[in-house]
A and B are shown apart, each in its own frame.
Chain A
Amino acid sequence: MVEQTIQAISSLPLDDTLRKASLQLVSRLPTAAESQQVANQGEAGLRAVLDGMMQEDKFYDRVAEIFNDLILTDRYLTANGQPREALNLMRIFPDAFWFGDPREVTRNPEWFQNLVLSNDSVAREPLQLINYVVKNELPMTEILTADYFMVNPYSAKSYGVFDELAFQDEFDVNEWLPAQIKDFEFFNNNIGDIPHAGILTSLMFLNRYPTSDTNRNRARSRVVYDLFMDVDILALEGSRPDGEAVDISSPAPTLDNDDCVVCHALLDPVASSFENWNDRGFYRPNAPWYDDMFQAGFAGADRPASEEPTSLQWLASQMAVDPRFNDAMVRIVYNGLTGAEPLDPPGDNATEAEWDAYNAESVHLDALKDSFVANNQNLKTLIKEIVLSPYFRADGLTTESFAIVHEDTGAARLLSPEMLHRKINALLGFEWRGPLDFYSVTKDNNSQARLLDDRQYYQQIYGGIDSFVVTQRLTEPNGLMIAVQERMGNELACYAVPNDFLTAAEQRLLMPFVETTTQPTSSANQEAIMQNIQHLHSHLLAEDLAIDDPELQLTYQLFVSTLEAGQAAIGSTEDGNLPFLCRRTNDLLTGDDLSSPLTIDPNYVIRAWIAVAAYLMSDYRFVYE
């Protein structure tokens, strides 16, 4: 049945799979050489191309984005709050504000620049560790077991470790190196060497999930189980009693009340393992710990007394050999790439279809996990396997009889604002920037807002997160999001079509087969227009249609009817000029004045193409992937 269930999925062809993966992983379209390699070598070619892509910087941006959606440490980035959220957490590090104490210095532009760069470098530390592990193809367990943390020149200065490291460039924020904090002193109190344990001892992680005298690191434990063991403590049998219903007849219900022990026997040993790390994420060895809760340990094993000062390193070593860690990695990457959580085990009243769906997916994910494990827990292996899986490539069903079984199958998703932003750049060669409509008349593009991934504009409306106040992405559209799509399609068409006509035909992204004068007045011209429409469907929507496909005919009709309506309106509601904001007098990327501006459209041809492009760029296939 499992085999039948999976065979019912009709998969995207390899070339479309390549495009889909390329846009998601490296925010660009595949090159001609990459496409050719896949055409020549099939799946092996696709794997090889993906290997190449996974060396690009953009890939690591995407990896960080995927993990941050769960870890949420980007909450401390300047873009998501105040410019010193991360540095404010470093008060025991005397050089945190190495560029000048905010209470004492004159805050000039250089000071602000150092503030932002240092803060964001500190904030990015846990995600950079993940990237470092992935980039070096280390076992993913190293994100827990690493006896180091990551710094760049700016954060190294804040942590006081800059002089111990050999940076190539003191001002390169992208140069990250592993570091350790040794022989640490705090107010003349010698703390000693910090026992780093990857993300578990990250200052950002520990502050993002703080503790208290009553919580006793249980929140941290819950997050650790959720992120790295794929165990949702809150979903276990038993529940926290309401209010006064707490059983106070025993001195320590979490130890001796069966209802409580269900969860706390799991939760508390991990919580106790954080005993040396205080509420603000600082290492405090030998601090007193509670004796009325389960003591440090993991999976039934007690932490050896000799490991007390390095408790989290011991915990990390235990988690690293726990097979549930691999489940957690599969879940995170599957979710990141497909936009969907793997299915839950069906409940007692589940239907046969739910069991079929679950069994098929489980068998498949287990196979992916096996590959991941067999290849030294290399995350790149897992990514390749998921991209090649029918669940990522699902494009339809071969038979309707499996519709219920596969009701949630596939990687189709509403693109996040950040993904949509990157897709626009990949397809059009420029970003959708602001301020709002005045993109085209400003020459200072670098300082202008990026509309889809800036919180001031549409990032929040379109369902983005800031990792703090808003932590859940919207995955279903609402009325305002539809309005964003509509405006996006209209604005982009207005900018992109005239801009494309400025270059030679062979270099154009959108209009390679027509000119601004090409009207459907001859069979040759009609053929050129149809070819261009065919190209637009392919380029913008990944829709490869035969030239006589009805969809292309309908788009052609839109072009013609728009052209006719526009031409008829010239002299009344229209004139021979392009709309003001669609005129190209300067370069979209540099702002430089153009020697041959494009401002007129005497026959309405350009505007008819703008209408066609606007139609396509708000399409389901454009805003979903």
Chain B
Amino acid sequence: MKRRTLLKALTGIGMAGALPMSLTRPAFGATADKFLITISATGGWDPTALIDPKGNTPRADGLGPINNYAASAIKSAGNLAYAPYPSMIEEPAIESAGHFDTFFNKHADRLLVINGIDTQTNGHDSGRRFVWSGKLEEGYPTIAALAAAPFADQPMAFISNGGYDFTASIVAPVRTASPGTFNQLAFPNSMFPTDPDLMHLGLVGQSSYSLVQQAREERLVRQRIAETLPKRQKQMDQLQTVKNSDVELQNLLDFLPEEVSNGLAGQAEVAIAAFASGLAVSANLNASGFDTHGDHDQDHTPSLTALLEGIDHLWEQIEMRGMQDKVTIVVGSDFGRTPFYNEGDGKDHWNITSIMAIGAGITGNRIIGATNENFEALKLNASTLQPDDSGIIVTPQHLHRSLRDFLGVQDDLDNLFPIGVEKLNLFS
């Protein structure tokens, strides 16, 4: 009944150490020079409230308007259209990096928007899985894990802040939490790890801590030798392997801001610091507050503003480290939200969604794909990427086929988790 282990042969020790050598060969060189960040607007965002705006024209079927703003109020920046703030919703200050006007005017030139993606589901778990792995069913790793797999021997190769982070054991996910914890963990015996003057003061006396550390290591070796239960032997081997790999968290701290931010901004700071310090190759970031079954405009709009603030902050971090040509960002969500309001002024789940991409290799100021006036996906010509009634509906499978080609995911890994759909040149 061990049914969720697709790669039984790989799960023996649970990490890429069990992978055939060909799968651990770096994709881009001996050390990573391409990095991937995925941002999940978890809960199901509403593209019509942001990058696929519709307006408040009443629907022909009487279900009401899609949005609470006039179609004539829809805005544009370059070739991108974006939603205004709904009526009755207080806008953030225009200086806010997450204000829709501010964000799109600043980033439109580098933003790629893909609309009209059919996730074929409205379940959170399945939607998230499909959007981030390209497979509706269980078993495929998130794209961030595929990007990190060739560097699986790095202790933090794939940083996960939640969301779909199944890795199929091709790389170990490292989950992070509040930024304040990094100092605690980088200096695990320090009483005051954030104070340079007092950092040296230990919980266990400094004069004896090295003895404790040595005793810990030696005991684990003795335990492993004496153990006769294979399962425990395996666990002790894992423990030894991880303990012996240097997690140079101190290096990470060198690249972190003195005060790490909260929320998405903080996740962004940690990810970029980990990239810059050579500890990580990919990260999934997570923003919440989008599952707005009640009071949609009231609750969803600030979540979108916070999301854009976080993306902007991420970009600032990337620029500060001079990594604009190395880091690609993909922003998506479980699915979309209904093109009408429910009895509680909320919006329920809807299978059509959008994604945004920005960063290394992405040509911005473009929209690919479209939806009709009822927020249903339109077919796309596979060659021209223009609406075409005889074309195809774009699904996350197409996204991932294209994204894998764009990122240069190795053939071995690609074949291990095949996606058999036509290739669209969505990312370039």
Contacts and interface: CB of A to CB of B under 8 A. Distances in A.
B94 interface: no
A379 interface: no
Interface in A567-591: 568-569, 573-574, 579-582
A476 B207 CA distance: 32
Most chain-A Cβ atoms within 10 A of its Cβ — which of B14, B126, B185, B193? B185
A410 B293 contact: no
B229 interface: yes
A474 interface: yes
Interface residues of B, number: 96
Contact of B239 (A84, A437, A493, A620): A620
A478 B14 contact: no
Interface residues of A, number: 112
The SS class assigned to the B binding surface is: loop
Contacts of B71: none
Contacts of B192: 437
Contacts of A621: 223
Contacts of B236: 620
A185 to B, nearest CB: 14
A607 B203 CA distance: 9
B231 A437 contact: no
Given A342-B1, A480-B247, A611 B395 contact: no
A410 B122 contact: no
A91 B203 contact: no
B288 interface: yes
Interface string A396-411: 1100100110111110
B348 A279 contact: yes
B191 A581 contact: yes
Given A234-B138, A562-B208, A210 B349 contact: yes
Nearest to B205: A607
A617 to B, nearest CB: 10
A477 B212 contact: no
A397 B230 contact: yes
Interface stretch (A55-63, A294-302, A452-460): A452-460
A81 interface: yes
B1 A580 contact: no
B286 A620 contact: no
Contacts of A554: 215, 218-219
A211 B193 CA distance: 49
A538 interface: no
A624 B235 contact: yes
B174 interface: yes
Interface stretch (B176-184, B304-312, B315-323): B176-184
Interface in A596-612: 604, 607-608, 610-611
A409 B230 contact: yes
A615 B166 CA distance: 33
Contact of B395 (A243, A470, A551, A608): A243
Interface in B123-143: 123-126, 136-138
Contact of A343 (B2, B123, B163, B178): B2
Contacts of A331: 1
A359 to B, nearest CB: 14
A585 B8 CA distance: 54
A460 B180 CA distance: 14
B207 A566 contact: yes
28 contacts: A89-B293, A91-B293, A210-B123, A210-B124, A232-B3, A240-B136, A341-B2, A412-B232, A459-B177, A460-B175, A470-B165, A470-B175, A471-B125, A472-B165, A478-B174, A479-B155, A479-B242, A480-B174, A480-B249, A482-B242, A490-B188, A491-B203, A494-B203, A562-B208, A566-B207, A610-B205, A611-B212, A615-B215
Given A342-B1, A468-B124, 18 more contacts: A211-B122, A243-B398, A280-B342, A396-B227, A397-B228, A406-B229, A406-B230, A408-B230, A457-B177, A460-B177, A478-B172, A479-B242, A490-B202, A579-B203, A581-B191, A610-B205, A611-B204, A624-B232
Interface of B: 1-3, 14-15, 40, 42, 120-126, 136-138, 155-156, 162-163, 165-166, 172-178, 180-181, 184-186, 188-189, 191-193, 201-209, 211-212, 215-216, 218-220, 222-223, 227-232, 234-236, 238-239, 242-243, 245, 247, 249, 286, 288-289, 291, 293-295, 342-344, 346, 348-349, 351, 392, 395, 397-398, 419-422
